Amino acid sequence: MKLLFVGDVVAGVGRRALATVLPALREEHQPDFVVVNGENAAGGVGITRKTAQELLALGVDAITLGNHTYRHREVYGYLDEEPRIVRPANFPKGSPGRGHTVVESNGLRLGVINLSGQVFLEAVRSPFAEADALLSELRGKTDAVLVDMHAEVTSEKVALGWYLDGRVMACVGTTPTWPPPTPGCCRAGPPTSRTSG
């Protein structure tokens, strides 16, 4: 299974850039799935129904979000309606939207989990415990799982990457870490035979 993940599509310029380069990336790499982080797609902060629909119309299979998920009130209902958009799963229970989804393409099923770090952010539950719960829930329902860890500090991304190593297809760390991430914060590869203890 091949996955193309695009981190942080920002504002109109990011959406236009994605529309320009995505066809060539698809042709060159032939991914089975395309997932983008769209939490800054609307004017550089948050997402709206219109900007989400624009990304999905490009053939994006799933959109992950982050701490700006609820910046635009108009999107709340759409987050409940559109299963291909996920907000951090460790946000308060009952928040608009969902924290994970399963998308299908050519007979393959990809689970997409979105998590938020807790340092300097307002997630209410541990991303580690939430990841464990969701992986148990998704067991047998997917061929692979992608985790997008949205966190302020690189160390949380690195720690979750190591924690999930061998249990997911990839654990990527997206915004809002503005300096380049530390090598190793994104873990990718086929699950190993290692089991968690």
Q: In which residue are the tokens 């340092």 written? A: 119
- Distance between CA atoms of residues 70 and 66, nearest Å: 9
Alpha-carbon gap, residue 60 to 58, rounded angstroms: 6
Class of residue 119 by CB neighbours under 10 A (exposed 0-12, middle 13-18, buried 19+) = exposed
List the one residue out of 114, 105, 34 whose CA is nearest residue 79. 114
For residues 75 and 51, is the Cβ–Cβ distance under 8 A? no
Strand partners, 116: 150
Q: Which residues are catalytic?
A: 68
DSSP string computed for 77-125: HHHHH-TTEE--TTSPTT-SS-SEEEEEETTEEEEEEEEE--TTS--SS
